[in-house]
Amino acid sequence: MVGLLIASSALAESGKPGVTVIVRGEPMAAARFQDSLRLAEMPIEFRFVDIPNVPSPPPERDDLEAAVAAARQDYGEANLRPCVARLAAEDLVTAALRNGQREGAARVLFWRAACRVGLGDSSVARGEARRLGTLELQVPPDVGRTTPEVERVVTDELKAAQRLPRVSLRVTSSVAGATVALDGRPKVCVTPCAVEVLPGEHVVRLEADGMVPEVRTLRVDPNEPAELAAALTPAAPELASAQWTAKYAASADIDSAASVRLLARAVRAKRLVFITAETSNVDARLRGVFADDQEIRGYAERYAVTREFDAAVRGLVEDLLVKGSVLQPPAPLYARPLFWTVVAAVAAAAVVGTYFAVSPPPVHTQVHF
């Protein structure tokens, strides 16, 4: 029998330690697991939570696509000022890069340059084309629909940008291991890390499980190493749920440490038991992982035939909670009072037996005629 390890800071209202349980598997299997755990009558206040399923919001593409399409139409109709105006908003490019839409960002910059060339504003046009180069974006196929002058301006600035010496950009974050997306290119490195970039303006996005994504726009000067230190803030459970759903729900790493940590944040669980139940008509395989304060404390696994399902559930959860120090392990044999009582009795019997074997008991002899 296991005993309680009292941790007053984590007691539920009932006075028992609270543990959140998530079971992944067929609905029937999950329900049976919960029933078995309730029947186990363990000294734990279990909270059963459904597995999160929060889809991520779709990327904001409509405004960008619409603006580019309208600008292209304006350019074709020689309405160059409206063309410039439609694409004037600066955050169009930043938003596109932040969302990984490098092609969209390239099209915005290209049509800005084209419209400016049409207006004879060559220097601004070259600036937009240069930015296309420093961001190392591909020239969009739309180039065939513009004038040779536009094509020349863009080509020249791209070549000029490529000739610039690259500069080191070091990225650090308050949470190590954040993935770094640079100018819309995903996962260029993992913090802390450094990347070589062309001088100019860049968009850096940092993402980490359970943290709010951080997007920074910074200018990198020529010949001067740059550094970006980002302080990531913890994500709200809703965001963590979306992150977990997107990253792990359908992944083979669903019971990995990273997944369970994120899951614990998503369901607001200080202590989380995450179970994967694979059942058939005749048997069940149960895998479990326990996390406390988003730290993995242990894994356990049970295989059981159907009639032993309840015992397997109890054994699995007890095993996990013992590994997590929520429950004390069963006392070893030598630490049980009964063991020493038996040992003492056997020893005493051995001593008495040996005594009488070696020295027979006294005999009171009556002698008479």
Partner 1 sequence: MRPVVALAVLAAAGCSLSHDTTLYYAHFSVGADAGLSEDLPSGFHCDKDNGQTGCPLIFIDGGQCPANPLRDNPTVSFNVVVDFLTNVPPGLPDTYELFALYCDTDAGLCPLAPGTRRCFPVTLPDAGLLYQASDIAPAVTAALQAVDGGIVSVDAPTGNVVARAIATQEACPPESQTTFDLNQLIGCAHSAPVILQDVDTVELKLNTNSPANYGECSLAYCANASGCVFTAPPDGG
Piece of 70-78, 125-133, 196-204, 343-351 that binds partner 1 (CB under 8 A)? 343-351
What phi, psi does 360 have (nearest 5°)?
-55, 155
Give the residue with the Cβ less far from partner 1, 223 or 365: 365
Q: For residues 357 and 167, what is the distance between their CA atoms, to the nearest angstrom? A: 94
Question: Shortest approach of partner 1 to residue 365 CB, angstroms?
Answer: 4
Among 102-110, 208-216, 297-305, 347-355, the segment contacting partner 1 (CB under 8 A) = 347-355
CA gap 189, 211 in Å, rounded: 17
120 or 362: CB nearest partner 1: 362
Query: What distance in Å separates the CA atoms of residue 81 and residue 78, rounded to the nearest whole number?
Result: 9
Q: Which of residues 48-107 bind partner 1 (CB under 8 A)?
A: none
How far lies 28's CA from each of 24, 209, 279, in Å? 11, 30, 9
Question: Residues 250-278, buried b or exposed e (16+ Cβ, 10 A)?
Answer: eeeebbeebbbbbbbbbbebbbbbbbbbe
Residue nearer to partner 1 on the CB measure, 331 or 344? 344
Closest distance between partner 1 and the C-beta of residue 1, in Å? 23
Rounded-to-integer distance, Cα 125 and Cα 266, Å = 47
Q: How far is the CB of 368 from partner 1 (least distance, A)?
A: 5
Residue 362 exposed, middle or buried by CB count within 10 Å (0-12, 13-18, 19+): exposed
Does residue 339 touch partner 1 according to CB under 8 A?
Answer: no
DSSP for residue 87: T
Shortest distance, CB of residue 350 to partner 1, whole angstroms? 10
366 binds partner 1 (CB under 8 A): yes
By CB under 8 A, tell whether 341 contacts partner 1.
yes
Question: Binding string, 144-173, against partner 1, x = CB under 8 A?
Answer: ------------------------------
Residue 358 in contact with partner 1, rule: CB under 8 A: no
Pairing of strands 214-220, 45-48: unpaired
DSSP E strand boundaries for 178-253: 179-182, 185-190, 193-197, 200-207, 214-220, 226-230
**Which region, judged by CB under 8 A, interacts with partner 1, from 71-79, 251-259, 299-307, 360-368?**
360-368
Chain residues binding partner 1 by CB under 8 A are 341, 344-345, 347-349, 352, 355-356, 361-369
